[in-house]
Amino acid sequence: MMGRIRILSQGRRIRAAGILAGLLLCILAAFPAVAQTAGGAEGLDGGQLQLDVVYGYQGTAKSGRYLPLKIRIENPGGAPFSGTLSVFTMESDYELYRYEYPLNLEAGESFAKDMSISLGARIDQMYVKVMDQEGREAASKRLKLNVSMETAELFVGILSDTPDRLQYLNGVGVNYSTLRTRTIEMSARTLPSQEMELDQLDVLLISNFDTGTLSGDQVKAVWEWVSKGGVLLLGTGERAEDVMRAFGDDLLLAPLPMADLQEINMGVEFAKDSPKGATIPLKCTDVYMLGASEVLSSDELSVLTSVTVDNGLVGAAIYDFVDIEAFCQENVSYVDNLFSSLLGEDRINYLVSSSDGTNSSQYWSVQSLINTGDINRLPKVGLYTMAALAYVALVGPGLYFFLKQRGLRRYYPRAVILLALCCTGMVYFMGVTTRFNGPFFTYATIKDMDEDNIVETTFINMQAPYNKPYSVELDPSYMVQPITRSAYYDTYYGNMQMPKFTGAEEPDVNLRFDQTATRVSARNVGAFVPLYFQMERKTENTGKAGFTGEIHCFDGTVSGTLTNGYNHPVDDVAVLMYNQMVMVGHMEAGETVELDNREVVFGVMNFGYPMAEQITGASRYREGDLNDAEYVHALERTNLLTFYIGNYLTGYHSEARVVGFSQNQQGGGFLAKKGYETYGSTLITSSVKVDYEQDGLVYRSGLQKNPNVLSGEYYARSNTMYGVTPLILEYYLGNDTEVERVDFHQLSDKVIQSLRYNYTVPFVGNIYFYNYDTGNYDPMDISVEEYGRDALEPYLSPGNTLTVKYVYTNPEDYSWNIILPILTVIGRNK
């Protein structure tokens, strides 16, 4: 018995050892794959191909942006390969998107591709796979991205011959440490030549570097990136000519002078022993940019100035950032002050909100833009009501008495059935025009034309009327990217959990980029659930289409001519300048109109809707009726123009933007395959230079630079104050100007009326100017709009600032959004 027990125990030990050996073999077999994935961008290569992927810059990434990928595939085997390269990612709304590209490799051939893929907010991984024609995986990599989830970061690209001397910019807290800088070294070799590959950057700093070594494509990419919201910061100093070589023609108002040694006061807050303790000698070059405003100053010298370029910003310092290395290492807060002053509160808040996944501003603005449709598709409620009443009358007493009088009452049940079938058929045919048979699109297109190029941006809303998978084919010449909302609030309030993302799931949306078409396929999408995409295309302006003209603006009047260079009529044409506009209306093809003696409308560009509805005529409809085709038409144009103003004209711009609407409503040029139903509007725009000088005087906006808030609540973006608490603003009128006159323009009556519907009222109350001689605030007559040099003498500081106190006295009207007068300045350049 004991022997049997020992034999059994020995058998169990053998079986246990076998199990342990099997487990050990499994662990050893799996260990190489685990080791390869531990490095972030490493992965498991399978099959006959070798796959290598590099993402972002120096192993860093920022979610909620487009992420550049550099993919290289080698086929070392002896047979050709045909299949698909795919990138699998999760969007901010937790929907899965897959991007597919056809791949054909001969034996021994290699393939390299650079692309930029949308990376959802707070998403930190992607999958890159190569599949053969049978759907088998030939190679794959999991990209574990180095994304900061805790602290909002400010990515600063460094382009310099001495990047090591700019490392003091790294790791600095900005704006009370709501942002932390991360520097990324770049060179003429590594700087991208595509705008989208720069999307990870917030700031590109160029100092002690010759931009003439950059290619034309690189310079163009940087300029396009700035136009879409990037910040370009230039340090000049002794190498000003080198730094400005690639950008000077677009920025400089005057040629660069020779560099000279100047004593620069970096700020009294950095003085240790005396007020002059923060003064350091630096080689400086005065930089005069067109339409620039002061950011940092040293006594009466502008040290850092900036100019708005569409949605972005260009800043130029008179010194080389390399030369202030020692000072900034001792005074890190100077870097904080520099970036805080340059970026501004609005831009910083946007960067912070974008980093934590709470920002879906583009999604909501695009949704309101293209979430409408053709009102001809709406059912005629009155007609259906009449049909229903007629049916009830016929099937009830009408049919009964008709058959009874003829002795055919026994046929009444069969007659009711026959009449019901006839009425059902009639209702079916009545609804033919209201039904969709397949995928359909609502779109909004913005065509911006200059002398050389046409930049077309189209936003599409893609839907299908059924609850099953579908696909569409788009024009392959467009770049296509999804627009999604953030799932932050759904997750925060427990309505949604972030799903697992292993790379083995089926995508919700698949985009396949072939030469003949971009095929977009959707699954798990309900009936009439919208999918939003942004499509972009840049082509040569071979026909020289666009608006051209000569525009002169001075002292609140506009003169000159405007020509419609399109081969078709254009509606609702207007000339938009900063906080003022001139409406032109309809223009025939090739027509030239005079701008003299036309009314100049004063408004605030950041209140886009009141300005837009004046242009489109939507202001005439205070009681909107969706059954009124003219009202809906005007409303759609107003929404598109409001979107354009809010996304392209938010900051100061010295040039005029001429806008108009194409009469051609037959869209669908973004489709590769015809037959889909489309509905939308097309806005066409051009930039035209404006002359602001007359008789040796220059006319400029007093709001080029945001006023400094000394007391009260003020929102610079819309030039409004909040509440009845007195507001004190310090206006900067420009160090380079001898002020001759300051005007306080009240908004035009038609704009004020529109603003009231947006719960915004004009300022009513008392205005005081700070007197630098007495130290008191002197009351001003609010009815006076013009103040000449003599009247301003005691109120202008040595730095050309004017301090104004506003006391609102009409709280019974409204006391929240109170819009202030618009300041303009007339002076002589020093």
pLDDT tens-digit readout, 671-719: 998 888 888 999 999 999 999 999 999 999 988 888 889 999 998 888 9
CATH class entry, domain 50-144: mainly beta
Closest C-alpha to 460, from 528, 367, 539: 367
Query: Scanning the structure block, which residue is given the tokens 């009247």?
Result: 791
Cβ atoms within 10 A of the Cβ of 444, count?
Answer: 24
Residue 91 C-alpha from the chain's centroid: 17
Summarize the chain as % helix, strand, coil (round to 5). 30, 35, 35
Beta strands in 59-174 (DSSP E): 66-74, 81-90, 96-105, 110-118, 125-132, 137-144, 153-159, 173-174
| Beta-carbon-side half-sphere exposure of residue 232 (alpha carbons within 13 Å) | 28
Answer for the pair 608, 645: CB distance below 8 angstroms, yes or no: yes
- CATH, domain 695-829, list 1.20.120, 2.60.120, 3.30.310, 3.40.50: 2.60.120
Task: Measure CA 588 to chain center.
Answer: 32
Q: Which residues of the chain, if any, have pLDDT below 50?
A: 1-47
Q: Give the rounded distance of the alpha carbon of 3 from its chain centre.
A: 83
What per-residue confidence (pLDDT) applies to 493? 58
**The pLDDT value given to residue 124:** 92
Cβ neighbours of 441 (radius 10 Å): 23
* CA neighbours closer than 13 Å in the CB half-sphere of residue 295: 25
Q: What is the pLDDT of residue 540?
A: 92
Q: H or E segment at 636?
A: helix 629-648
d(CA 230, CA 224) in angstroms, rounded, equals 9
DSSP 155: E
Distance CA 166, CA 92 (A): 34
The DSSP secondary-structure symbol of 563 reads E
Distances (CA, A) of 415 to 394, 398, 404, 408, 700: 11, 12, 12, 10, 81
Answer yes or no: CATH 3.30.1360 is held by domain 153-355.
Answer: no
* Rg for the chain, CA atoms, rounded: 33
Q: How many whole angstroms separate alpha carbon 360 and alpha carbon 483?
A: 9
16 to 10, 12, 26, 415: CA distances (angstroms)? 10, 6, 15, 84
Helix-helix angle 629-648:361-370, to 10 degrees: 160
Q: Judging by beta carbons within 10 Å of its beta carbon (0-12, 13-18, 19+), is residue 213 exposed, middle or buried?
A: middle
E strand or H helix that includes residue 8: helix 2-37
Residue 455: both structure tokens together: 């930049």
The dihedral sign for the CA sequence 518, 523, 527, 533: negative
Report which secondary-structure segment, H or E, holds 346: helix 333-355
Q: What is the maximum alpha-carbon separation in the chain?
A: 123
Identify the sign of the CA torsion 744, 747, 749, 755: negative
The structural domains of the chain, with segments of one domain joined by +, span 1-38, 50-144, 153-355, 382-395+410-424, 436-485+523-691, 695-829
What does the alpha-carbon distance between residue 140 and residue 125 come to, in Å, rounded to a whole number? 13
Q: Strands, E, within 733-773: which ranges?
A: 737-745, 760-762, 765-770
Q: Which residue has the tokens 């949704």?
A: 367
Pair 346, 329: CB distance under 8 Å: no
In angstroms, the CA 7 to CA 545 distance is: 96
**To 10 degrees, what angle do helices 412-430 and 381-393 make?**
170
Backbone angles phi, psi at 250, to 5 degrees: -90, -15
3 state DSSP class of 71: strand
| DSSP, res 38 | T
| Residue positions counted in the chain | 830
> How far is it, in rounded angstroms, from Cα 101 to Cα 514?
7
The answer to whether 44 touches 34, Cβ cutoff 8 Å, is no
- Residues 396-435: b if buried by 16+ CB within 10 A, e if exposed: eeebeeeeeeeeeeeeeeebeeeeeeebeeeeeeeeeeee
Alpha carbon distance 166, 155 (integer Å): 14
- Three-state secondary-structure class, residue 260: strand
The answer to whether 819 touches 762, Cβ cutoff 8 Å, is: yes
Q: Which residues contact 261 (CB under 8 A, 6 or more apart)?
A: 281, 282, 283, 284
Q: Measure the CA–CA gap between 425 and 686, rounded to whole angstroms.
A: 52
Q: What is the pTM of this model?
A: 0.84
Distance CA 291, CA 654 (A): 6
